[in-house]
Structure 1
């Protein structure tokens, strides 16, 4: 039988049909397997985790078959509860596959503690700029004490308590400047400005 006759034979056509059907079945099986192993058709909407604590985050994501990783702690934000989520990636409303990791940024438990810089002997303006640069707030009210230098820092107060250079306090603390009044030391009460002259007899 020649090749041309074989190609026209029922046997060849039958084998061709069987091969085509087998290819279709195989392709369908492969696609089905990929769907199962890669969750191709499964899409989970990422919930909003903002302001939630880690325990609530864990319970919520576990129910959705999602995982999470804490990647960083941001600067303390008083608008968020301590140790709660400030940012997340992917964002809320995104669609992801099961077992996807959600990356979280948490709010610290409080403001960072930093040392008070050296501002003693500096002018009010210099000290204010330096304290603000570190992260403190400077009270608009000032306390003046007797001193020959006017508006020069002679002390620092926080809630009425004296603090010194190097003391560590939380950022965002309100510091009151204790400044010289430029008028010098106060006269002690009851002490006269007059010099008393005491005459003594000459001893022979």
Structure 2
């Protein structure tokens, strides 16, 4: 009897206020859906579950991965193209998030890993060019370890010979940009006269002013060819 009365009351309410009843039902449904959604968000975002980020810098990639796995964290390599001589090849240079921070369990730790070797480039033409052009070419390719020796010569500022890590390397060969380059340059202390001296001076100027861009293009082509 009681159930029939409740049913009758519900039917009467629906008949008298159909819109209000529908709105009330929609509100109840929205609250229920919102609650269920929050439960799913908690599950998928690991709400309240934080992980301590260990310090994996200066570790090998294998050691870093083992440490992150043990901490329950995901990982990915963000950069492995740069070579830092002050660190061992293949070691972790930096990480994001930083060490000793706390993150969600689903957070990925990004690792910057030292390359296994320095970037390789085709060796440019370094002899019979001015020291200014030779240094510009080397710097544009990324060489930093460059020393200059002077020897007695009629041709001041002209690169007469060079070594790469203490040995001669042919033009166009692939070398690491961390190689030690030594340039031997004429000091102009020997005085010569005649057409040869004028010609050589003009040749130096011509190489410096006209062939610089052509040399860069040739180096780029050789590098692409060697990489292929």
Partners of 1:126 and 1:37 lie apart in 2 by: 60
- Bigger share in helix: 2
Secondary structure of the corresponding residue to residue 56 of structure 1: helix
User: Among residues 100, 108, 118, which one is paired with 1:101 in the alignment?
Assistant: 108
Deviations 1:40-94 (A, max 9, x none): 1111121222111121112111111111111321421122221111222222233
Partners of 2:166 and 2:71 lie apart in 1 by: 52
Partner of 2:79: 72
TM-score (norm 1): 0.65
Change (3 A) 1:184 1:115: farther
- Across the two proteins, how many residue pairs are aligned to each other? 164
The question of whether the paired residues in 1 share the 8 Å contact of 2:54 and 2:71 is answered with: no
Q: Equivalent residues in 2 for 1:53-92 (5 A)?
A: 53-92=60-99
Partners of 2:86 and 2:98 lie apart in 1 by: 19
The question of whether the paired residues in 2 share the 8 Å contact of 1:77 and 1:107 is answered with: yes
User: Among residues 134, 146, 149, which one is paired with 1:138 in the alignment?
Assistant: 146
User: Among residues 150, 168, 176, which one is paired with 1:162 in the alignment?
Assistant: 168
Give the greater-gyration-radius structure (CA): 1
Change (3 A) 1:184 1:64: same
Alpha-carbon distance, 1:165 to partner: 2.3
- Bigger share in strand: 1
* Structure 1: tracts of 5 or more residues without a match: 4-25, 186-204
Matched, 1:176 2:178: no
RMSD: 3.3
Partners of 1:74 and 1:160 lie apart in 2 by: 26
TM-score (norm 2): 0.59
User: Among residues 117, 126, 147, which one is paired with 1:110 in the alignment?
Assistant: 117
Partners of 1:75 and 1:153 lie apart in 2 by: 30
Partners of 2:79 and 2:105 lie apart in 1 by: 23
